[in-house]
Amino acid sequence: MNFQPDPRISDFREEVRTFLSYALQPAWRERKRKLISSPKEDVRAWSRALDEREWLVHDWPFEYGGQPWSAGQRYVFEEELAMAYAPDTDRIALGLIGPVLCKYGTEEQRARYLPAIRNADEFWCQGFSEPHCGSDLSGIRTTAARDGDNYVVDGRKLWITSAQISEMMFALVKTTEAGKPTRGLSFLLIDMRQPGVTVNPIITLDGSLSDREMVNEVILEGVAVPTGNLIGDEGKGWLYARSLLAHERSIVPRIAQAKRDLATLREIAQTEVRNERPLLQDPIFRAQLISLEAEFSALEFLYLRMLHLSEEDSYAHVLAPTVKIRGASFRQRISELMLEALGENGIKADGSGSATLIPPYAEGVGANYLFRRTASIAGGTSEIQRNIIAAVGLEL
């Protein structure tokens, strides 16, 4: 890894800032700041603005619209968007199923689904977990039985993020009971708008204020899925899922957003008054903040190192879970310290817009604190990430 300053990076940063100065609408930023994630209509409008600039699918392969950016440029892009409170994009579509379609999809599948992802016409959800399996997907019970040109899918998926607003779901289903449990899994693309699909939202601790982070139960009863919606070969779903899960570990930690949260925490500490002086001058609080800032520098380098590695590099398979564990715990601790810094205002700050007498930086802090508890579970629990590090990195 080269630590010398790259002049192309500062030019690129300026280019991104210029774009943000005209493309980013104040109302989108406001909603992103208050809520855990942007509402669907903001995601759609922002995705289209990014795609027009040819930056939406920047990390897809070049032939599908990707940009030949360096790892440094990719990080600067993430950082500038996060710092500006730019709306989210559909990371499940762009970061998970998009790359799988590019790598393993047929020409017909790519022609059907990639343009709709780029234009944010269709939102996607990920249907892997079930009531009896999350960490160990070999226990999947949802079945897909072949019936002429269709599979008929029956089962129950659980904790499915944004299923209630998604048009499409990619799912792991069981197509045979023969052989090892993972050998019987297939990877299907399911249209959520058809008969037999029922979505039941689950209200979580944070009040499920964000429609795009809401988790759901999805019941599939006799759902007909054309065989043309099978990714790759029947029974090889585990292969495609593993490739996707490796991507997931690296998109879940959201290091640039953690940097923004840290900057907000410093702003809070400078503004909030405790014992007649700014909180930042309180030696205990200050020590905690500085310790987090130092830790963030290490995490940021680790992340940049990960971005430099290609997907095929075996070391990437150790770095991704390491960044996932550290990133999750980091964002949880920032949210704890924010709440501590805000005292009563933090509890009022649920992001619902009902609390009008609190400073703007306090909006959403309470809900964010509760929502962050899930960071060490979603996308693979910290225990499972440690198992991967032990098995792949330490060969234990």
Mask for 212-251, x = binds ligand FAD (CB under 6 A): ---x------------------------------------
Residues 196-215 that bind ligand FAD (CB under 6 A): 215
Select from 40, 26, 363 the least CA-distant residue to 213.
40
Exposure b/e, 358-388, CB count within 10 A at least 16 = b:
beebbbbbbbbbbbbebbbebbbbbebbeeb
| CB of 161 vs ligand FAD, minimal distance in Å | 3
Q: What is the DSSP secondary structure assignment for residue 87, as one 8-state letter?
A: P
- When asked if residue 257 is in the footprint of ligand FAD (CB under 6 A), the reply is no
| CB of 132 vs ligand FAD, minimal distance in Å | 8
Give me the residue whose beta carbon is nearest to ligand FAD: 134
Phi-psi label, residue 157: left if phi above 0, alpha if psi -120 to 50, beta otherwise: beta
Tell me whether residue 215 or residue 337 sits nearer to ligand FAD (CB atom): 215
Tell me whether residue 133 or residue 347 sits nearer to ligand FAD (CB atom): 133
Residues 97-136 that bind ligand FAD (CB under 6 A): 125-129, 133-135
| CB of 328 vs ligand FAD, minimal distance in Å | 11
Q: Count CB neighbours of 287 within 10 A.
A: 10
> Site for ligand FAD (CB under 6 A): which residue of 311, 383, 390, 391?
383
Virtual CA dihedral for 68, 71, 77, 83, nearest 10 degrees?
A: 180
Q: Max Cα separation, the chain?
A: 75
- When asked if residue 161 is in the footprint of ligand FAD (CB under 6 A), the reply is yes
Question: Are 104 and 237 contacting, i.e. CB atoms less than 8 angstroms apart?
Answer: no
Name the token pair of 208.
Answer: 């499920």
Virtual CA dihedral for 324, 75, 23, 33, nearest 10 degrees?
A: 40
> Site for ligand FAD (CB under 6 A): which residue of 251, 347, 355, 377?
377
Tell me whether residue 352 or residue 387 sits nearer to ligand FAD (CB atom): 387
- When asked if residue 142 is in the footprint of ligand FAD (CB under 6 A), the reply is no
Which positions lie near ligand FAD, rule CB under 6 A?
125-129, 133-135, 159-161, 215, 374, 377-378, 380-381, 383-384, 387
